[in-house]
Structure 1
Amino acid sequence: MTVPDDGLRASDRERDAALDRLRAAYQEGLLAGAEHERRAGAALAARTRGDLAPLLADLPDGAPPSRRTPVSPLRAWAVFSAVAFMLWVVPAAALGLGGPAVLAWLACCCLLGAPTVALSVLRRPSD
């Protein structure tokens, strides 16, 4: 004779997992405080897996999908310019090289590289 899974006794690990999911649902705003307390108390008192199942049945599985924050083209250009500055101007100054050639190269990198960086950010596939 086989016992349905709902009739099997719940382990401490299963009760802890249910409590973790209820806590996450509360933090995500899916449960009100009183509802969370009621369900958490029922999870602690659960004897079988069948007692735990209804407590989690109306909650989505796992964490919500993360959303990437889009990078603004202005920020991407600023980062690119800072890197170009560090790679060209700082070593040139340290080596005693300078003058208009170094500044012209920096301007070229920043002005010609900015559209490339902006296009790569704008063409990034959305999630």
Structure 2
Amino acid sequence: MKFSHIHHVAIICSDYSQSKDFYTRILGFEIIHETYRAERQSYKLDLRIDNNSQIELFSFPDAPKRPSYPEAQGLRHLAFSVDNIEKAIDHLNSFDIETEPIRIDEITGKRFTFFSDPDGLPLELYEV
């Protein structure tokens, strides 16, 4: 089996409107398709990150919270490549989104930082 890329990452949010605004207006992801599924009282929003990758943003009534943060088993964080980490941090900070201090990856020597989405999902900026 050979994989070409990650197609999508699915995220369940607690406040659909707030998360939709965060991922579209603040992070700048393009809406591909938005669906409301009345039988599930659930939205599904497909967002384009680039030509190969997408985020599926879901809302479900009464979805359970993440059991612990940040070192629970499973997905640890979602990382986005950026060309200029300072510019990306300035953009996030202009929307009052806090970012951690820039760190250096001890293996690659690349710079990175973390921030959170409206539900506290750990997101990373990784300078390429």
Same fold (TM > 0.5): no
Q: TM-score range by the shorter chain?
A: under 0.3
TM-score (norm 2): 0.20
Structure (1/2) with the larger helix percentage: 1
TM-score (norm 1): 0.20
Structure (1/2) with the larger strand percentage: 2
